[in-house]
Amino acid sequence: MEIASSQDPSDPSSPSSSKSERSKEDATASMGVATTNPELRILAAIGKIDGAPTEFKSCESVSSAGILMALPALLSCGLLRHCTRYFTLPAGYYDAIHIFLMLAFMTLCRVKSIENLSSSPPGEWGKLLGLDRCPSVKTLRAKLGLLTKGQVSEWSAKLSEEWMQEDPGNVGVLYIDGHTRVYHGAQTELPKHHVARQRLCARATCDYWVNGYNGLPFFRVNCAVDPGMISVLEQEIIPELERSIPNQPTKNELKENPQLSRFRLVFDREGYSPGFFKRQRANHIACQTYHKHQGADWPIEEFSLHQVKGITGEKIEMLLAERGTLLGSKLSEQIWVKEIRKLTQSGKQISIVSTEWLANPGEIACPQFGRWYQENFFKYMRQEFNLDRLIDYNLEEVDDSTRVVNPAWRRIDSVTRAKIGKVARKKVKLHDLTIGGGLSTTQIETYMEKAALLQEEIEQDRVEIEELKKQRKLLSKHIEHKDLPEGESFLQLATRSKQFIDTIKIIAYRAETAMADFVRPLLGEHHKDEARTYIKKLYQSEANLVPDEKEGTLTVEIHSLATPKENEILKKLCEEINLTQTEYPNTKMKLIYKMVS
C-alpha cells in the first residue's frame, strides 16, 4: 500500500496514468474517426460552448485543400454575409459558419450529396475547417434541418437583391426559363410536366430561374403545381424585379419618354402572349421571345449585314431585317411590336418579336440567341452540382386554393389528341393512295377501294373528335386542389431545404465563375473554354497549411499542377487573390496563397 500510494499519477509509466489514457482513447474512438477533441465535444453536448474554436495546425498534403482558394470568392458572393441574421443553431460543436463553409466546399469539390460525404476522410475535411473532423452525415443532416427552419426565402431574396445592386450592367436584360425536376419517388403522385430534354411527360416540379445578361443566376421560383410561365412572371418574378433592380428610370423619365423601359425580359415561346406583352408594356417593362406564328418569309433584299456585340464582347455578324408587326387576334390584346428576323446560312428565317422599341436589331437579336447561356447553366448545374437531386423526402400539404389541371379534362384531352394524331396519319396514307401513277386498271380499282375505306374511317373519326371536343368544352380545364376527386389529390415536396441548398449552389457557381473569368484570358485563345476545368482541377489539388499565430496568417501552399503553364497561371491567381486580404472566418488569420517552392 505504501509503494502504490507513492507512485506519481502523472508519470506515463504508472498504471493509473496508462488507465487514464486508455479511457480517453476509448472515449475519443467512440466519438468517430479523426476525433481528437473529446473534451470540447462533451462541453458542446451539455451546452457549455457554442461552436468549437477554429484552430489550424501545420499539416502537409491535405486532400482537396486547393478549395481554400475559393474562400475569398465565396465570401465576396455573400456566403456568410447574413448567416447570423437569418439563421440560428442551438449550442453545439459545429456552429452555422462551419456548416455553411462545409456545404460550399462540398459543392465546389463535387460531393454531390450529403450521403457521399461518408466515403471521404473526415479528418481531411476537418483540417479545411480548422477542426479535428467534419460533421458526420447524420449530424450534417440534423444541422441542415435546423437551418432550414430559419428565414430561407428572406435570405435568398436579400442575396439576390445585393447581387443586382453590385452588378447593374447585367440586370437591364434578364433571361427567364423554366427547369423541370423529375420526381422518381412513390410517396406522392405529383402532376405531370413535359420534360423537354427527355422528350416525355413525367411527374415533376418546375423551377423558374432568373439569370442575368451574362448568364449568372439571381434567384429561382419553385412551383409544385406549375401555373405556367406567364402566371409566374406576373405573380412572382416581376414584382421581385421591380423591387430589386437598381437604376430604373424615374416616373418623370418614363412620363417624358413613354417608349423607355425599366428592364427587359427574354424567354422562349412559352411566354408568348400578346395580352401579356401589352400589360407589361403599359408598366414600361419590355418583353421579347420567338414569334409563335411567323408567317411567310420576307424578301431577301430586306436583310442587311449587322455587326453585333456578343455577350462576352466578341463581334458577331448577322443578316437581320426589321418590321413593325401587329400581334393579337383579340382587339383588347392587340399590340404593335418590333419583329426582327435573322437569315441563317441555310436560308431559314428566325423571327423575334420585342416590345423594346429603343433597341436596334442587333441589340434585340443578340440576347435572344444568347439564351443558350441559361441553357448551358442548367446543363452544367445538373452535371456538376447535381441540381436536380432531392435534399430530403419531406412532404407538405398543397394549399386548397391552388389551381390544378382537372383530371377529367386531361383524360378527354389526351384521347382527343390521340384521335387527331391518328386521323393525321390516315390522311397521309390516303394521300399516298390517290397520287399513284402508272398503274393497271385492276391496281387502280384496288387502290380506290382502299382509299374509299380509309376515307370512311376518317369521317367516322372526325365525328368522334367533334363529340370529344364538345365533352371537353363542358369541363373546366382548371379546378382548385380542394375540388379534386377522391384519390386524385396529392402532397407537394417540401421546398425550404431545396431552396437553401440551391442558394448555396448559386453562391458556389458565382464564385467559380469569378475565378474562371480571371483564368480564361490566361489560358489563351485556343484553350479559353477550359477555364472551369482548370478551376475544378485546382479545387481538388493538395496543399500544405502553415499557420503562424504570431504573424496572424494562414499560408496555403498549393502543390504543383501538371504543366509549367498551369503553374504560371496559378502563380498569377495567387497574387490576385492575396490582394483581397481575406481573413479565415471565425479567426483573425489572414489567408496567404502561394505555390509550394
The range of the structural domain enclosing residue 340 comes to 281-370
Report yes or no on 538 lying in a domain. no
37 band by pLDDT with thresholds 50, 70 and 90: confident
- Per-residue pLDDT tens digits for 364-405: 999 999 888 899 999 999 999 999 888 877 777 877 777 787
Mean pLDDT over 505-517 rounds to: 96
For residue 299, what is its C-alpha cell?
424578301
Q: What percent of the chain has pLDDT over 70?
A: 92
Under 8 Å between Cβ of 515 and 532: no
Structurally, the chain folds into a number of domains equal to 3
Report yes or no on 587 lying in a domain. no
- Measured CA to CA in angstroms, residue 56 lies from 59, 62, 123, 547 at distances of 9, 12, 12, 6
Report yes or no on 120 lying in a domain. no
What's the CA gap between 497 and 504, in Å, rounded?
11
Task: Tell whether 424 and 468 lie within a shared domain.
Answer: yes
Mean pLDDT over 251-278 rounds to: 94
382548385: which residue's cell? 480
- Per-residue pLDDT tens digits for 553-589: 999 999 999 999 999 999 999 999 999 999 999 999 9
Task: Tell whether 181 and 226 lie within a shared domain.
Answer: yes
The pLDDT score that the predictor gives to residue 441 is 64
Task: Tell whether 230 and 170 lie within a shared domain.
Answer: yes
Count, residues in the chain: 597
Report yes or no on 324 lying in a domain. yes
Mean pLDDT over 515-540 rounds to: 92
For residue 312, what is its C-alpha cell?
462576352
448551358: which residue's cell? 376
- Helix/strand/coil percent split, the chain, to 5: 50, 20, 35
Task: Tell whether 356 and 439 lie within a shared domain.
Answer: no
Report yes or no on 18 lying in a domain. no
Task: Tell whether 464 and 499 lie within a shared domain.
Answer: no
What's the CA gap between 169 and 173, in Å, rounded?
9
Under 8 Å between Cβ of 87 and 97: no
- Per-residue pLDDT tens digits for 408-426: 888 888 889 888 988 888 8
Top-ranked range on mean pLDDT: pick from 35-44, 266-275, 307-316, 483-492: 266-275
Task: Please provide residue 590's backbone torsions phi and psi, each rounded to the nearest 5 degrees.
Answer: -80, 135
**Average pLDDT over the chain, rounded to an integer:** 88
Task: Tell whether 162 and 255 lie within a shared domain.
Answer: yes
Contacts of 71 (CB under 8 A, 6+ apart): 101, 582, 584, 591
Report yes or no on 216 lying in a domain. yes
Task: Tell whether 428 and 521 lie within a shared domain.
Answer: no
Mean pLDDT over 201-211 rounds to: 87
**More confidently predicted of 11 and 589:** 589
22 has pLDDT over 80: no
Task: Tell whether 167 and 310 lie within a shared domain.
Answer: no
The pLDDT score that the predictor gives to residue 438 is 53
Strands (E), 437-542: 478-480, 492-493
**More confidently predicted of 30 and 311:** 311
Task: Tell whether 395 and 513 lie within a shared domain.
Answer: yes
Closest alpha carbon to 374 in 215, 144, 563: 215
Report yes or no on 355 lying in a domain. yes
170 three-state secondary structure: helix
What single string gives the DSSP state of each residue in 309-334? E-TTS-EEEEEEEEEEEEE-SSGGG-
